[in-house]
Amino acid sequence: MTDPIGIEIRNLYKIFGANPQAHVAAVRAGMTKAELQARHGHVLGLSDINIQIAPGSIQVIMGLSGSGKSTLIRHINRLIEPTAGEIVIEGRNVVGMSKDELREFRRHRTAMVFQKFGLLPHRTVLDNAAYGLEVQGMAEAERYRTAMRWIERVGLSGFEKSYPSQLSGGMQQRVGLARALANDAPILLMDEAYSALDPLIRYDMQTVLLDLQQEVRKTIVFITHDLDEALRIGDRIALLRDGSVIQQGTAQDIVLRPADDYVANFVQHVDRGKVLKVGAVMLAQHGFDALPEASIATDASIAEALQQMAANRLQALRVQDPQGQTIGVIPFQDAINAYTGSKGEGAE
Amino acid sequence: MTSWLTSFPQLSDSLLRALQRSIDNGFRSFTRSYGDLIEGFFSPLQTLLIWFERLLLGTPWPVILLVVAGLAWGASRSLRVVIGSVLTLVLIGLFGMWADTMKTISMVLAATLLSIAIGLPLGVLMARSARVQRVVSPILDIMQTMPSFVYLIPVVMLLGIGRVPGLIAVVIYALPPMIRLTNLGIRQVDPEVLEATDAFGSSAWQKLVKAQLPLALPTIMAGINQTIMMALAMVVIASMIGVQGLGQPVLRAISNQYFTLGLFNGFAIVGIAILFDRISQAWGKRLQKHREASHD
């Protein structure tokens, strides 16, 4: 198993059109997408993207269609050439790689899962899952053994001789996932991997991914337009709009402190009780004379805290970190305020 | 006064004659100086053709029937196709056209192999580069619309009369669908599948062999099928420049008004055309068995 590696995206720009280089300076100086389109007929795909992705974390990039999220993920393995900027992985700039270097990089450092699966229809599940290894030049017996292990791991045992067209969408995406994981690359790129699946299967596949991540610890870049999905699986989330990052942070940051009205609008329908953690809402303990008896874990949800307080008629709970140390207090009113999203001063 | 409107203003007769004569002379001297060289260049074709003919004529007819039955079964897994193919050949044999048919089949096989060998790489090149497509497309248009008698003339001037010029004429006629359909098949491969092969670091060759060609195969097979059919259609015309086989008796029947002779040989050509068509199509279909069990 390879060690996780981080990704650093620096000042990335993508302009679509006949002569993109000519307009980078203007865009850097502040020309908007609409202006660029109207005056020069070029489309601003991505504008000054800066994202640091920690090794072994799940970075969600979220936005509506047309926001540039699929364009952005394709820059990480350079399926799309940037107009300007850098992508630094293991100290090397992906943008500067030669053709051969890039091919080696794609073979061993990244694996990708696609919205429409991208499976080879003339190949069996087994041969699809083994594709990345085959391209690397691994011997047949060995690549089949590895591929079989991942086919079993994603729950497709018994289907290895089937063709993709014989499988449902959810099963096809499991093949896509097995193919990506079999590669054993430290970076996993998932381009709206679950968007084509129906909600139950999508939830199921999210669970598969989270479970797998516990074992394999990859650096995952996950594109989605579904906020619930983003909040569930993302260690960090970057919100994209019109090719620019408008906010990035943890799920808590985005729900509690939306950067602007657009984000606020986005998050207003979220089930805050489930998304928000006690640790993000609690107050410092030194403000209290007597600490409450009952306690709750810092990563429990607000909904759980409220349930516990309501059931036992408590006014506050002590918040404990995983080592059992008390690190704060969550009063009932603060929990309610966080849950409803009202900014009222809870504990006067 | 109106004569300049009714008769098109053309170049003067003497100028036209001089033009024709100079082109003719130019080509004739080209033939004289390079004819041997070109003949030498094409002589492997002669070997290939003779080898095919000897193979088909030298093999005992029951073996040929068995091989055809085996091919038909292997390609189609259908008893109907097998019986139909064998029956066609038996009837051809009974009516005394066995040897001519074998000669024709060997010519068609050689022409098809040659067309695939030239057409497949050219089609791939065309699919990979817009520039090659811009150059090759009009050439294919000319090859397909130019009456075949016209390009028989330079071929005969260069190579004389016989099997090889016949083969070249047949290939010129039968090659375009092979190139066009290979090009089309590769261009129609789902770009998302190709993006996935790129993302996993496939080289251009891996992409071609592992994704583009197999996915284009049904279309390429249609191209091979078309090429076989067109090669068969050229058999009679090629017989005018000395290609042996079923075309020769037809040619004799035309000049002597032997209705029945023409009819029999015509039916023999139709018979082997259907035979080739059914076998190659059934094979093409079996190659894409992954499409049959579609999930819905």
Supply the CATH number for residue B239's domain.
1.10.3720.10
Q: Tell me which residue has tokens 């789902």.
A: B190
**Considering the domain boundaries, does residue B248 fall inside one?**
yes
What was the pLDDT predicted at B21? Answer: 93
What is the average pLDDT across B2-13? 83
Name the pLDDT band for B292 (thresholds 50, 70, 90).
low
**Considering the domain boundaries, does residue A12 fall inside one?**
no
Q: Give the angle subtended at the CA of B154 by the CAs of B150 and B157, to the nearest 5°.
A: 130
DSSP letters of A173-242? HHHHHHHHHHTT-SEEEEESTTTTS-HHHHHHHHHHHHHHHHHH--EEEEEES-HHHHHHH-SEEEEEET
**Host domain of residue A309:** 273-340
Inter-chain residue contact A166 with B206, CB threshold 8 Å? no
**Considering the domain boundaries, does residue A348 fall inside one?**
no
Per-residue pLDDT 10s for chain A (348 aa) are: 567 889 999 999 999 999 999 898 888 888 888 889 888 999 999 999 999 999 999 999 998 888 899 999 999 999 999 999 999 999 999 999 999 999 999 999 999 999 999 999 999 999 999 999 999 999 999 999 999 999 998 889 999 999 999 999 889 999 999 999 999 899 999 999 998 888 888 898 899 899 989 988 899 999 999 888 998 899 999 999 989 999 999 988 888 888 888 888 888 888 888 888 888 888 887 777 778 888 888 888 888 899 889 888 888 888 888 888 888 888 888 888 888 877 644 333
Picking from A252, A272, A292, the residue at the C-terminal end of a domain is A272
The answer to whether residues A130 and A253 belong to one domain is yes
- The closest of A254, A177, A168, A239 to A213, measured between CA atoms, is A177
Judged against a pLDDT cut of 50, whether residue B295 lies above it is answered with no
Q: What is the pLDDT of residues B157-211, one digit of tens each?
A: 888 888 888 898 899 999 999 999 999 999 999 999 999 999 999 999 999 999 9
Residues above pLDDT 90, as percent of chain B: 60
Among candidates A107, A163, A167 on the partner chain, residue whose Cβ is nearest the Cβ of B201: A107
What was the pLDDT predicted at A283? Answer: 86
The answer to whether residues A214 and A280 belong to one domain is no
**Considering the domain boundaries, does residue B254 fall inside one?**
yes
The token duo for A274 is 């489930």
The answer to whether residues A193 and A235 belong to one domain is yes
Interface with chain A: mutation pick from B198, B200, B288, B292, highest number of A CBs within 10 Å: B200
User: Collapsing DSSP states into helix, strand and coil, what is residue A104?
Assistant: helix
The answer to whether residues A266 and A307 belong to one domain is no
What was the pLDDT predicted at B291? Answer: 63
The answer to whether residues A190 and A305 belong to one domain is no
Interface with chain B: mutation pick from A106, A135, A189, highest number of B CBs within 10 Å: A135
Report the distance separating Cα A320 and Cα A326, nearest Å. Answer: 4
Q: In what order do the strands lie in the sheet with A295-297?
A: A295-297, A316-320, A326-331
Name the pLDDT band for B128 (thresholds 50, 70, 90).
very high
Inter-chain residue contact B201 with A121, CB threshold 8 Å? no
Number of domains present in the structure of chain B: 1
Does any CB of chain B come closer than 8 Å to the CB of residue A155? no
Judged against a pLDDT cut of 80, whether residue B231 lies above it is answered with yes
What was the pLDDT predicted at A347? Answer: 39
**Considering the domain boundaries, does residue A203 fall inside one?**
yes
Report the distance separating Cα A7 and Cα A95, nearest Å. Answer: 13
| CATH number for the domain harbouring residue A246 | 3.40.50.300
| CATH number for the domain harbouring residue A335 | 3.90.1280.20
Judged against a pLDDT cut of 50, whether residue B296 lies above it is answered with no
Number of domains present in the structure of chain A: 2
What was the pLDDT predicted at A288? Answer: 74
Picking from A225, A248, A272, the residue at the C-terminal end of a domain is A272
What was the pLDDT predicted at A270? Answer: 83
Whole-number mean pLDDT of chain B? 89
What is the average pLDDT across B243-258? 90
ipTM of the assembly?
A: 0.84
- The closest of B290, B250, B246 to B269, measured between CA atoms, is B246
**Considering the domain boundaries, does residue A156 fall inside one?**
yes
What is the average pLDDT across B142-164? 85
User: Which chain A residues contact residue B202 at CB under 8 A?
Assistant: 103, 135
